[in-house]
């Protein structure tokens, strides 16, 4: 089987290229058009922010890229090129390994996204072993280094702890450690700091920033907080009701907004 | 000015039962706070999660009993009185909770939930009750038809407005707002803050505004109090002092963590200064912040700093200031 491949995008450091994506949620009595004709590009080492209010469809885009959208979500049109290959054209058996080797994701609620019955160490080692054929001890060393990389104190102790024993900020850093353990090309961060304090938020943003500088990871940052965008993003897409209403560099969006909705969002800044 | 609510050196600690032994561990949440709130002078309480700001708010609303100390409302203690005596006071002390979806009974309409509040403290006819509900819904910017809707049919922002309506329907004098905007979208945040401000001007409400977002504070508050590890470390009167004049190292840390407003204001390398520890020293004889403080001296380890006035209406608890 021949997959859809676009070699042109590779040269421009484009990791993720979403073209004309449309996605509908099929309900018994109606269809909801959650994403309509969406175009989005994420480049190596850059942070692309997808900004919108709740219900604008930004999380749906994240789930569609990962291939983990709900069962009633039907992709009616478009292509999602991940590292040059259209993931929607991949057969089901290859899809999971293709995506999971290239994309990491962190979610809004860090405590809920970890397994409460496994220790932090078990979860990290499990992830390492899925991606690489090495011994458990080697995996443990990688896991420890990974925890140090997100500057968590006393990683040896931490490996034995359960998620409920950690604070929200620590859990989110563990999530970053897990998501970045196999050096993904793309990291999707779905509202990574919304549930956290300002001090913790600054730390998390710092880790995302150092990750893209160190590994050249492309980051798709999904948020509704324009403060976070102003602090860290390179490119910005403003989303409303499933459409991208404006996209550009962070300076364009903040100093020269064109669309009414962008202006409204900027005016709502405290 | 009249003092509306006051706390006298209150403390609250929770007991944590160890799973395997009978030993009980004491977890202090609020560690000796004296705070005076004058009528018409709203106070913003800022701190990280776990600093005890919500516990302090709940004690001031009469929902928790302090382990030590007293909470006074109009000079009368509310911390150890019976529920029967509390009921007439309740109409003057209300609370806006953080999570608007758990405030309403899912099987009641918004109107029924608000009516419950009215019936609790007033004997009114059905018609009067309905009139009151409609007025307050209009005042918070909701259509009167929302009284017939169920909580699940409302969006987050609408539900938060209904939540505010529920707290303000009796026109209380003192309202504790526990992170009223932190669960809301960015664009709704400003709307709700403006609404709280309008209602304050209209009804003369005094707020205790609990938040972790420093940007919200100047919108609704006259006084800002910064809390760390169960203590107030800095208190500043925003009428006489600029918010930028704060002195405590913890406050500067909080300020440095606020994201930039525009890309040109991006800070470089300030993040390294956030020393990564949430460890709070056990001892009561040292500054509780010294492990994270970039300027600590020997005195900070041996002696606990007390709140002292450094300018008119500006108090700081720090040795190096």
Greater pLDDT, B28 or B279: B28
- B118-158 pLDDT per residue, tens: 998 888 899 999 999 999 998 888 889 999 999 988 887 88
- Rounded CA-CA distance B34/B6 in Å is 7
Residues of A within 8 A of B186 (CB-CB) are: 53, 224-226, 265, 268-269
CATH number for B3-92+172-315: choose from 1.10.260.40, 3.30.450.40, 3.40.50.300, 3.40.50.10800. 3.40.50.300
Q: What is the pLDDT of residue B129?
A: 93
B259–A270 C-beta distance less than 8 A:
no
Residues 6+ apart with CB under 8 A from A93: none
Average pLDDT for residues B253-278, to the nearest whole number?
Answer: 70
Q: Residue A30 to residues A35, A72, A161, B232: CA-CA distances in angstroms?
A: 15, 12, 46, 54
Rg (CA), chain A: 19
CB A181 within 8 A of CB A143: yes
User: What's the gap between Cα A119 and its chain centre?
Assistant: 24
3-state class (DSSP) for residue A203: helix
A264 in B contact zone (CB under 8 Å): yes
Residues 6+ apart with CB under 8 A from A211: A176, A180, A187, A217, A219
Structure-token pair, residue B242? 């600029």
| Phi then psi dihedrals of residue B86, to 5 deg | -70, -30
- Pairing relationship of beta strands A235-240 and A243-249 according to DSSP bridges: antiparallel
DSSP A100: H
- Rounded CA-CA distance A217/A212 in Å is 4
Is the confidence at residue B278, as pLDDT, over 70? Answer: no
- Rounded CA-CA distance A251/A253 in Å is 5
Query: Is residue A189 within a helix (H) or strand (E), and if so which, with residue range?
Result: strand A186-190
3-state class (DSSP) for residue A69: coil
CB B310 within 8 A of CB B316: yes
pLDDT band at B311 (very low <50, low <70, confident <90, very high): confident
- B39-49 pLDDT per residue, tens: 989 999 998 88
3-state class (DSSP) for residue B158: helix
Structural domains in chain A, CATH included, are 1-102+186-270 (3.40.50.300), 112-183 (no CATH)
B187–A153 C-beta distance less than 8 A:
no
Is the confidence at residue A219, as pLDDT, over 70? Answer: yes
Domain spans in chain B, listed from the N-terminal domain onward? 3-92+172-315, 101-171
Residues 6+ apart with CB under 8 A from B163: B96, B97, B100, B103, B104, B180
Q: Is the ipTM of this complex over 0.85?
A: no
- B91-105 pLDDT per residue, tens: 899 999 888 888 899
Is the confidence at residue A7, as pLDDT, over 90? Answer: no
Structure-token pair, residue A120? 């932090």
B259–A206 C-beta distance less than 8 A:
no
The alpha carbon of residue B123 is apart from the nearest alpha carbon of chain A, in Å, by: 41
Q: What is the DSSP string of A16-45?
A: EEEEEEEEEEE-SS-EEEEEEEEEEEEETT
CB A146 within 8 A of CB A180: yes
| Phi then psi dihedrals of residue B40, to 5 deg | 80, 5
Among the partner-chain residues A151, A227, A268, the one whose CB lies closest to the CB of B261 is: A227
First to last CA, chain A: 53
CB B164 within 8 A of CB A242: no
CB B216 within 8 A of CB B37: no
User: What's the gap between Cα B210 and its chain centre?
Assistant: 2
Residues of B within 8 A of A55 (CB-CB) are: 155
Is the confidence at residue B276, as pLDDT, over 70? Answer: no
User: What's the gap between Cα B17 and its chain centre?
Assistant: 28
Structure-token pair, residue A61? 């885009």
- Rounded CA-CA distance B236/B315 in Å is 6
A73-82: strand order across its sheet: A31-43, A14-26, A73-82, A85-86
Is the confidence at residue B23, as pLDDT, over 60? Answer: yes
Residues 6+ apart with CB under 8 A from A190: A59, A62, A105, A106, A107, A108, A222
pLDDT band at B61 (very low <50, low <70, confident <90, very high): very high
CB A175 within 8 A of CB A114: yes
- Rounded CA-CA distance B94/B281 in Å is 35
Count Cβ–Cβ pairs < 8 Å, chain A vs chain B: 88
B258–A205 C-beta distance less than 8 A:
no
Neighbours of A228 (CB within 10 A): 26
Is the confidence at residue A217, as pLDDT, over 80? Answer: yes
Alpha helices, DSSP H, located in B51-152 = 53-60, 83-90, 110-121, 126-139
Residues of B within 8 A of A232 (CB-CB) are: 259
A68 in B contact zone (CB under 8 Å): no
The alpha carbon of residue B196 is apart from the nearest alpha carbon of chain A, in Å, by: 15
CB A14 within 8 A of CB A42: yes
Q: What is the pLDDT of residue A6?
A: 65
Q: Residue A264 to residues A176, A230, A239, B192, B216: CA-CA distances in angstroms?
A: 32, 16, 13, 15, 18
Interface test mutation site (partner A, options B189, B214, B256, B259, max chain A beta carbons within 10 A) = B259
Is residue B67 left, alpha or beta, with left meaning phi > 0 and alpha meaning psi from -120 to 50? alpha
- As a whole number, the mean pLDDT across chain B is 87
The alpha carbon of residue A69 is apart from the nearest alpha carbon of chain B, in Å, by: 23
CB A176 within 8 A of CB A217: no
Look at the pTM and tell me if it is higher than 0.90.
Answer: no
């Amino acid at each position: 089987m021949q997959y859809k491949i676009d070699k042109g995008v590779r040269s421009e450091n484009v990791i993720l290229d979403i073209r004309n994506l449309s996605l509908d949620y099929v309900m018994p009595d109606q269809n909801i058009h959650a994403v309509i004709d969406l175009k989005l590009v994420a480049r190596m080492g850059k942070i692309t922010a997808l900004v919108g209010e709740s219900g604008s469809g930004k999380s749906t885009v994240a789930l569609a890229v990962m291939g983990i959208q709900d069962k009633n979500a039907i992709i009616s049109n478009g292509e999602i090129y991940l590292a040059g290959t259209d993931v929607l054209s991949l057969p089901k058996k290859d899809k999971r390994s293709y995506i999971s080797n290239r994309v990491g994701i962190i979610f809004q609620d860090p405590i809920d996204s970890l397994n409460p019955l496994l220790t932090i160490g078990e979860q990290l080692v499990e992830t390492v072993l899925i991606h690489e054929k090495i011994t458990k001890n080697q995996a443990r060393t990688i896991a420890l280094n990974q925890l140090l990389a997100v500057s968590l104190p006393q990683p040896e102790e931490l490996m034995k702890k359960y998620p409920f024993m950690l604070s929200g900020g620590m859990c989110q850093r563990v999530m970053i450690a897990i998501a970045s353990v196999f050096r993904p090309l793309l990291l999707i961060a779905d509202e990574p700091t919304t549930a956290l304090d300002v001090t913790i938020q600054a730390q998390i943003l710092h880790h995302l920033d150092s990750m893209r500088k160190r590994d050249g990871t492309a980051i798709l940052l999904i948020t509704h907080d324009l403060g976070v965008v102003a602090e860290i993003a390179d490119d910005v897409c403003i989303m409303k009701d499933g459409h991208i209403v404006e996209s550009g560099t962070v300076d364009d969006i903040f100093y020269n907004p064109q669309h009414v909705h962008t202006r409204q969002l900027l005016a709502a800044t405290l | 000015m009249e003092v509306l609510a006051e706390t006298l050196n209150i403390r609250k600690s929770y007991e944590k039962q160890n799973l395997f032994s009978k030993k009980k561990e004491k977890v202090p949440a609020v560690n000796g706070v004296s705070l005076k709130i004058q009528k018409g002078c709203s106070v913003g309480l800022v701190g990280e999660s776990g600093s005890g700001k919500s516990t302090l708010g709940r004690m001031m609303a009469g929902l928790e009993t302090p382990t030590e100390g007293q909470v006074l409302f109009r000079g009368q203690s509310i911390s150890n009185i019976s529920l029967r005596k509390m009921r007439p006071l309740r109409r003057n002390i209300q609370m806006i909770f953080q999570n608007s979806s758990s405030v309403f009974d899912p099987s009641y309409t918004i109107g029924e939930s608000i009516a419950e509040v009215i019936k609790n403290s007033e004997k009114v006819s059905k018609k009067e009750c309905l009139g009151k509900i409609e007025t307050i819904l209009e005042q918070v910017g909701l259509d009167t038809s929302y009284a017939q809707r169920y909580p699940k049919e409302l969006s987050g922002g609408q539900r938060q407005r209904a939540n505010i309506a529920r707290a303000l329907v009796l026109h209380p004098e003192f309202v504790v707002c526990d992170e009223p905007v932190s669960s809301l979208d960015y664009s709704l945040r400003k709307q709700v803050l403006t609404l709280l401000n309008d209602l304050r001007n209209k009804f003369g409400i005094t707020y205790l505004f609990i938040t972790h977002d420093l940007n919200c504070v100047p919108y609704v508050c006259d006084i800002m109090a910064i809390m760390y590890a169960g203590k107030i470390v800095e208190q500043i009167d925003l009428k006489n002092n600029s918010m930028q004049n704060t002195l405590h190292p913890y406050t500067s840390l909080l300020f440095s963590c606020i994201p930039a407003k525009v890309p040109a204001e991006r800070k470089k390398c300030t993040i390294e200064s956030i020393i990564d520890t949430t460890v709070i020293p056990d001892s009561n004889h040292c500054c509780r912040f010294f492990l994270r403080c970039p300027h600590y001296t020997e005195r900070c380890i041996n002696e606990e700093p007390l709140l002292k006035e450094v300018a008119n209406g500006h108090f700081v608890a720090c040795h190096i200031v």
